[in-house]
Structure 1
Amino acid sequence: MTDPLLTLDGVGFLLADGRPLFADLNETFDRRRTGLVGRNGIGKSVLGRVLAGELPPSSGRVRRQGRVFRLAQQLAPEPGATLAQLAGVHEALAALQRLEAGEGDEHDLSRLADRWDLRQRLQAELARAGLPALPPETPAATLSGGQAMRAALAGAWLADADFLILDEPSNHLDREGRLTLLAQLRRWRGGLLVISHDRELLETMDSIVELSPLGLQRHGGGWSFYVERRDAQRAQAEAELERCKLERRQTAARLQREAERQQHRQSQARQERGDGSQPKFVLDFRQERSEASAGRMRQRHDAVRAELAGAVREAASRVAADVAIVVPPLPPAVLPHEVLAFDGELPFVAAPLARLQLRLHGAARLAVCGPNGCGKSTLLQVLAGRLAPRAGRVERNVRQAWLDQRLASFDGPGSALERIQDACRQRPEAELRTRLAQLGLGAATLATPCDALSGGERLKLALALALLADEPARLLLLDEPGNHLDLAALEALEAMLRSWRGALVVVSHDEAFLAALALDERLEATPDGWQRRPF
């Protein structure tokens, strides 16, 4: 294997409208297992494509040593695509088939690259990823999101690359799939860059590189070390901002006193001119000198004020680059003894997981866990009244809000502000704008049509609709709420849900996210049925 190396030398990238996405990036990626983090929209995926050579930089250059393979975040196979295409081996397999039939040529030999055992290697990787023995021609449309990601990851290990760039590889993977991915990455010996908000995955990295408006900054160690350094730097930046503001206030007061003394001297000079106690030429000389001195003082004061204002702006920019989302005050929750009860059978779910008896009391906090396809999302839809149970019934004693993975309720016309004003008629628009801004939904976002919002923006709006409505929800049913959020927004969501005083049922494969919510119990899908146990 070639010693892998990717080097950014003054790299910048401009969007189609000419706005800079990032500029003057300088960094080297080698065999160190590196996690790339940053806010949504900051350009992480674009940077991954630039590093892989899929996009040319607008400025600077990228030097590559070794073959690079990039796994995209969004798997969007074309109609009729196959499992082999998801794994990126369809051309090599077609070349192998032609060569075995005696119909191949030099291009097929080059495309196959001596991988005569590719079919066997593909099946071995699929098995290692926890997938059944599926033929390469299996339609991609028949695979679940988790199965499709596992197939694509199998292709990454088969790519014979020197450097892997994986963009959100744990998205759509259940707990077993995530553990399999961690085991596969531990065996990888080439260069590795992982773009992710999966903290368990980031914890296994040798270093974390953060992309922000200030550029790229590398932190040695995994996620915990990065958080420690980030929080220390944030505190230092905030302290420096306060110091600059204090210096500006103190200096402004001193300059004001100097200006007042100058004005007092000028006032005395005018009195002397008025009483005629001094010769006119002496008074004229003193007046000219005083005016010149006052002019120089004003210039010096203006320069000092400008310098201090610049220092405050620079310090503020370092704080603003990593400002956290503010969690707005949540409404008090008055809950009955029994919030929800279900005793029956789930539709579309096979035995023994079809049968379930579930009761939630007071401010219950429950995690629903299990492999993909076991019925977790179906359970939430039944509890929310979106699906009817196959048998039995659901008793709901409080208003609930169901947030599905796609947040499909926001498909369609109407702006974000119009949607929330319709649900929050008792709150003035100014208050709504303030609370939404605290959630990171600014004026530009509020004017955007709902169907054009990002996943993270949809989630924030959905939570605002649930919590700020005239009749707020007392039970939140959340289906993989962290899928669309960057790390800063995920931490803000955790803080919000920890302070939530209503009942909570959350489906997630992210153990770090669940651990941060102060949950009471876990409802887990097992081969023997649903098991409820302390978290």
Structure 2
Amino acid sequence: MTHPYLALDSASFLLPDSRLLLSGLTEQFDTRHTGLVGRNGVGKSVLARLLAGELAPSSGRVLRAGRVCYLSQQVEHIGVGTVASLAGVQPVLGALARIDAGSIAEADFELVGDRWDLPARLHHALEQAGLGHIDAATPAARLSGGEAMRVALLGAMLSEADFLILDEPTNHLDAPSRAALGAQLRQWKRGLLVVSHDRALLAQMERIVELSPQGLRSYGGNYAFYTEARALEQGSAVRELDHARQALQREDRAMREQRERQQRRQAQGAREGKSANQARILLGRQKERSENSSGRLRQRHDEARQQQQQRVRDAAQGVREDSTIRLHATAVAAAAQRRVAELEDVELPFAAPPFNRLSLVVTGQMRLGVTGPNGSGKSTLLKVIAGELAPLAGDASRDPACAWLDQGLATLDPQRSTIAQLLEVNRSTGQDRLRTYLAQLGLDAQKVALPAGLLSGGERLKAALACALYADPPARLLLLDEPGNHLDLASNEALEAMLNAYAGALVVVSHDEVFLERIGLTHRLEAGRAGWRLRLL
């Protein structure tokens, strides 16, 4: 295939309930490594499946020139089968084994084709990827999530497809697995489309394509180029919205003044007519003309106002949601030397040596990032600090004003509204003011009245943070476990803005290095070969 490509030609997609998810998309994807970004729920995974041929468009066409290999968010066959089945090469390896045993079946030879060296290539690929400790026969159930994704990716590469389409490949991967996957993708010389919110991975891409309700927009550069271009567009959109609102206000003022002038003229004409003792029929005709003139004026005003309102709506569509997220300043007692948590020779439950023991002091203005491979006990550590788990040995203490947000946001009741839960923890601030604080976080009056379980992931995180930070008293220690998981880029940026405005102590578990770099950490607690190591930044 000389010029492989994927193309959308006015492609649309209807959900099973007949709602229109994607409308009239036209775009071409060549062999440049491309990142597909967009808000959660906008249809990125559906678009990836359309391009891969997993779904058919409701209207329009999807064109493919070349073979496509697609990996979904949930790697297939984990827990069953072997490494070979996870890599998608089990049928060929089975045919080779039967031929070695004497098979002369035509189907086996057709299945093998020219891939007689596949066992050696698989072994070499596993070695090169740092997975030499497993082989084709290794049960898939023994693999970690990161190993499973990398094996599936190796299989895709061995398939010699012209395009790889990967949907959120770094979800749930620790930092070493993310780095290894990134290295694998850099070696791939053919077409690549990655659906991702991982900014480090997106930085490797040659092009970013954004999906929004308005359609697809291509940015001819990596993630840094995209963010710069997006910021310029955002600034222009905000200015255009401001100008449109000002124009609407001027139009309203001009209309009001013109109506007032006409009403004065009409009143004056009526008075002069009566004083001149004009005939009743003439006064009636004069009144009719005046009313007709008023009607035409109202119609012109209504049309002009509708045009200005449409301009405001159009301008508002260009303004990115979460662009004005603001955290209200809270009176957090954040004395630098005040101890808000202390672990003294603590033995963590469920953690294996050397990660099961540590001592730690968290002070009032400390911002601590906790990093390390999956299974090292990071989430367990947060639970012990929060008092959700008791240590097997040693002493653990914490400030009473401590808020722990786990990955599932279990502290937020999905059946109750955000405003009801916030009023429960803050009885001293009026409801109107609390609603204003929530609106500044992007949670409007309608959203704060919904059961929290009906909110999006980003909205639920904001609601949970609001219940911690706007409580009375506000949390002096905030514990967050992978807060960016499943958040889209805009929600991640809003979370960073909120955390940067928070004045208390912060302990965050995350594999997202870009996120950790942007929230002003003062310390790192790292799980390494020798155990836990606290490092001042």
Pairwise same-fold verdict (TM > 0.5): yes
Describe the superposition over 1:249-273 as per-residue Cα deviations: whole angstroms up to 9, x where unpaired.
2222223333233333322332232
Shift of 1:248: 1.9
Q: 1:464/1:297 Cα in 2 relative to 1: closer, same or farther (>3 Å)?
A: closer
Q: Is the 8 A contact 2:42 2:212 kept in 1?
A: yes
Describe the superposition over 1:104-127 as per-residue Cα deviations: whole angstroms up to 9, x where unpaired.
744444444432233333333333
Bigger shift: 371-380 or 306-315? 371-380
Q: Is the 8 A contact 1:2 1:66 kept in 2?
A: no
Describe the superposition over 1:197-252 as per-residue Cα deviations: whole angstroms up to 9, x where unpaired.
11111122222111111111111211121111111111111111121222222222
Shift of 1:141: 3.2
* Equivalence map 1:350-499=2 (5 Å): 350-407=352-409, 414-417=415-418, 420=421, 423-424=424-425, 426=427, 434-441=436-443, 443=446, 447-448=450-451, 450=453, 455-499=457-501
Q: Is the 8 A contact 2:14 2:21 kept in 1?
A: yes
Q: 1:401/1:103 Cα in 2 relative to 1: closer, same or farther (>3 Å)?
A: farther
Q: Is the 8 A contact 1:421 1:429 kept in 2?
A: no
Distance 1:305 1:362 in 2: 54
1:332 matches 2:335: no
Q: 1:267/1:351 Cα in 2 relative to 1: closer, same or farther (>3 Å)?
A: closer
Shift of 1:459: 3.1
Describe the superposition over 1:407-444 as per-residue Cα deviations: whole angstroms up to 9, x where unpaired.
4566x973454982585262666555554454445645
Q: 1:525/1:219 Cα in 2 relative to 1: closer, same or farther (>3 Å)?
A: same
The residue aligned with 2:253 is: 253
Shift of 1:13: 1.3
Shift of 1:295: 3.6
Q: Is the 8 A contact 1:367 1:508 kept in 2?
A: yes
Aligned length: 532
The residue aligned with 1:534 is: 536
Describe the superposition over 1:381-427 as per-residue Cα deviations: whole angstroms up to 9, x where unpaired.
332333443432223244433333344566x9734549825852626
SS in structure 1 of the partner of residue 485 of structure 2: helix
SS in structure 2 of the partner of residue 482 of structure 1: coil
Distance 2:344 2:381 in 1: 12
Q: 1:476/1:116 Cα in 2 relative to 1: closer, same or farther (>3 Å)?
A: farther
The residue aligned with 1:238 is: 238
Distance 1:240 1:398 in 2: 47
Shift of 1:317: 2.2
The residue aligned with 2:35 is: 35
* One-letter code aligned to 2:531: G
Describe the superposition over 1:141-179 as per-residue Cα deviations: whole angstroms up to 9, x where unpaired.
333222222222222222211011111112222222222
Distance 1:404 1:77 in 2: 28
* One-letter code aligned to 2:184: Q
SS in structure 2 of the partner of residue 244 of structure 1: helix
Q: Is the 8 A contact 1:209 1:218 kept in 2?
A: yes
Distance 1:456 1:281 in 2: 69
Identity %: 52
The residue aligned with 1:91 is: 91
The residue aligned with 1:61 is: 61
Shift of 1:61: 0.9
Q: Is the 8 A contact 2:438 2:466 kept in 1?
A: yes
Q: Is the 8 A contact 1:38 1:210 kept in 2?
A: yes
- Give me the TM-score of the superposition, normalised by structure 2: 0.89
Describe the superposition over 1:301-355 as per-residue Cα deviations: whole angstroms up to 9, x where unpaired.
2222222222122112222x53436233253222562222223233444444433
Q: Is the 8 A contact 1:364 1:503 kept in 2?
A: yes
1:311 matches 2:311: yes
SS in structure 1 of the partner of residue 340 of structure 2: strand
Q: 1:444/1:242 Cα in 2 relative to 1: closer, same or farther (>3 Å)?
A: closer
Bigger shift: 375-384 or 516-525? 375-384
Q: 1:435/1:57 Cα in 2 relative to 1: closer, same or farther (>3 Å)?
A: farther
Q: Is the 8 A contact 1:269 1:287 kept in 2?
A: no
Shift of 1:510: 1.4
* Equivalence map 1:153-164=2 (5 Å): 153-164=153-164
Q: 1:413/1:245 Cα in 2 relative to 1: closer, same or farther (>3 Å)?
A: closer
Distance 2:299 2:438 in 1: 43
Distance 1:348 1:326 in 2: 39
Unmatched segments (≥5 aa) in structure 2: none
The residue aligned with 1:212 is: 212
Distance 2:179 2:103 in 1: 42
Bigger shift: 263-272 or 51-60? 263-272
Q: 1:388/1:129 Cα in 2 relative to 1: closer, same or farther (>3 Å)?
A: farther
Q: Is the 8 A contact 1:475 1:503 kept in 2?
A: yes
The residue aligned with 1:126 is: 126
Q: Is the 8 A contact 1:204 1:222 kept in 2?
A: yes
Q: 1:378/1:279 Cα in 2 relative to 1: closer, same or farther (>3 Å)?
A: closer
SS in structure 2 of the partner of residue 481 of structure 1: coil
Distance 1:389 1:164 in 2: 46
Q: Is the 8 A contact 2:419 2:448 kept in 1?
A: no
Q: 1:254/1:389 Cα in 2 relative to 1: closer, same or farther (>3 Å)?
A: closer
The residue aligned with 1:117 is: 117
* One-letter code aligned to 1:447: L
Q: 1:248/1:381 Cα in 2 relative to 1: closer, same or farther (>3 Å)?
A: closer
Bigger shift: 154-163 or 347-356? 347-356
Q: Is the 8 A contact 1:342 1:357 kept in 2?
A: yes
Shift of 1:471: 4.9
Unmatched segments (≥5 aa) in structure 1: none
The residue aligned with 2:194 is: 194
Shift of 1:494: 0.8
Distance 2:19 2:129 in 1: 41
Q: 1:273/1:431 Cα in 2 relative to 1: closer, same or farther (>3 Å)?
A: closer
Shift of 1:67: 0.7
Distance 2:49 2:11 in 1: 13
Distance 1:414 1:462 in 2: 13
* One-letter code aligned to 1:42: V
Distance 1:186 1:249 in 2: 53
* One-letter code aligned to 2:36: L
